[in-house]
Amino acid sequence: MKPFTQQDVQIPCGSATLWGDLCVPAQAPGVVLFAHGSGSSRSSPRNVFVAQVLQQAGLATLLFDLLTPQEERVDRHTREYRFDIGLLTRRLYDATRWLETQPALHRLAVGYFGASTGSAAALAAAAQLGDRVAAVVSRGGRPDLVAAPQLARVSAAVLLLVGGNDEDVLELNRQAFQDLTGEKQLAVVAGASHLFEEPGAIEEVARLAAAWFSGHLRPESADPSSLEAA
């Protein structure tokens, strides 16, 4: 494994400041931002595991909280923020803009890894940022929470990963898959449920995600000027 730097970061997102864990392997071709799912955080054990596999593949990763501590406390009781796709999308967009200010990162290709409702935010942000986002991977995602015209504007290569036993979400992904117009793939992890807790399930997710990002995140795919124009 290549040497890497790891640090805690603070990300300005509008009036909020969010905490993140940034890991950058030497000569990384791209950076993957994680958008966690409903009621989760940057400490999600499944996302942390996937991030470690991506790091071993030489990719930089940014795990960060989409909500402030106060918002998380409110959301635990009301669940109002986890389905606020507009808010989550703005947070992911702002985090991507923040990367543009980091000398070691601003020229890296950008990818998004979204889980559950975080996947909707990842796809919506990718639609806004156009070619600046090269690839998106959705794990047990809710792309149905993104309007069809927005999905059609996503130019990033999209991989939808769904558990074979997660029947309702699988059907929602199949329907949304039809609205994606760029490079896309729907992969079903046999025997897996929504949280991919079965033996070998999250390992398969990580393997597929690493292959997808490694194949699509290249420095030449990054165009910093496109972000400023978005």
Q: What is the pTM of this model?
A: 0.91
Averages of pLDDT over each 10 residues, the chain, 230 residues: 78 92 94 85 87 96 92 83 90 94 89 95 97 96 96 98 97 97 97 95 98 89 42
The pLDDT value given to residue 73: 86
Looking at the 3D structure of the chain, how many domains does it have? 1
Q: How far is CA 199 from the centre of its chain?
A: 23
The pLDDT value given to residue 227: 41
The pLDDT value given to residue 220: 55
The pLDDT value given to residue 228: 41
The pLDDT value given to residue 12: 93
Supply the range of the domain harboring residue 105.
4-229
The residues, any chain, with a CB within 8 Å of residue 42's CB and separated by 6 or more, are: 19, 20, 21, 34, 36, 63, 64, 65
The pLDDT value given to residue 38: 67
Query: What CATH number does residue 167 fall under?
Result: 3.40.50.1820
